[in-house]
Amino acid sequence: MNKGNHTTVTEFILVGFSDVPELQYFLFAIFLCIFIMSLFAHMFLIVLYRFNTNLYTPMYFFLANFSLLEICYISTVTPKMLVNLLSGDKTITFHGCAAQMYCFLVLASTECYMLAAMSYDRYNAICHPLLYNSIVNTGTCLKLIVGSWIIGFMVATIQTFLTFSLPFCGPNKINHFYCDIPPIMALACTDTQFNEIATFMIVLCVVVGAFMLTVITYVQIIWTIVKHHSATGSKKAFSTCASHLIVVTIFFGSGSVMYLRPKTSYGTDVDKFMSLMYTIIAPLLNPFIYSLRNNDVKFAVKKMFCN
């Protein structure tokens, strides 16, 4: 704290899981294993795509980019959390907290629209198979990827500026394991109604908007599968889409619960668990969800190890 005419917060304390100190080392071991497994699983998918020409299709191009995004995504939160679990000093500087939030929001917002882009790819593959190669070409894939990143940077810039332009002159303990919007707004020493409304509108546009795009594409996909495909074709199409639907449900479901609420309802251990779902658990599950149900990936793995 700096004392003058008023008190200004220069650092925050990430409370994390300090309410169960006897579990600190156990939680450290668990989260470290999850972090390492996530990194290796996503790196393996990227290497698999890079060295298997059979996977040079838009679907796996998106999956490789998604894995790269997930590596960055989990690396914005987990390392600091691991340090805090072992260290008695759980502080993070004001600017460090802002940087962590900015990086997290860039990656989370980008992931929303990258998942929507992957749904669009599946929509064209199933609903417009004859035109698929002309619609989802290299240029289209790059535009969707770049567009997702642009949206991510725009959202992060606006939201981080709105959050850290608030005055912080009182408590500096963040009841969370990383710098997230709701617990930081709860520490502001001014009325945050405008920020809450702005956050709600941004999340509504970004998260709900991307989710609705995904839902609309899958309604069309399911209708096309039921109407036009044979039993064998339907099973293969559903199998291809099921993995993506599971990932979308986990990510959007847990994220919506966290952000589409007023500030006053935040602060329970349930919130930390929900945050764990989309920041740490989901990045671990995603590569296995995509690979275990995918015959092309299984074949590529066998081919790579045989060679």
pTM confidence score: 0.87
Asked if 58 and 79 count as a contact pair (C-beta separation under 8 A), the reply is: no
Pairing, β 11-14 against β 91-93 = antiparallel
Alpha helix segments (H runs only) across the chain: 24-50, 58-75, 78-86, 94-127, 132-135, 138-164, 181-185, 193-203, 209-228, 231-259, 269-276, 282-292, 295-306
- What pLDDT sits at residue 254? 73
pLDDT, tens digit (0-9, with 9 covering 90-100), for 201-244? 888 888 888 888 888 888 888 888 777 656 555 666 666 677 77
pLDDT, tens digit (0-9, with 9 covering 90-100), for 283-293? 888 888 777 66
270 Cβ contact list (under 8 Å, min separation 6): none
* Residue 62, pLDDT above cutoff 50: yes
* Cα distances (angstroms) measured from residue 285 to each of 117, 195, 250, 302: 20, 33, 10, 21
Decide: helix, strand or coil at residue 2. Answer: strand
* Residue 266, pLDDT above cutoff 60: no
Compute the distance between CA of residue 266 and CA of residue 185 in angstroms, rounded to an integer: 10
- For residue 128, what pLDDT band results from cuts at 50, 70 and 90? confident
> What CATH code would you report for 2-306?
1.20.1070.10
- For the chain, the average pLDDT equals 83
What does the block give as tokens for 231? 């039993």
- What pLDDT sits at residue 195? 87
Residue extents of the structural domains in the chain: 2-306
pLDDT, tens digit (0-9, with 9 covering 90-100), for 152-179? 999 999 999 999 999 888 788 888 889 9
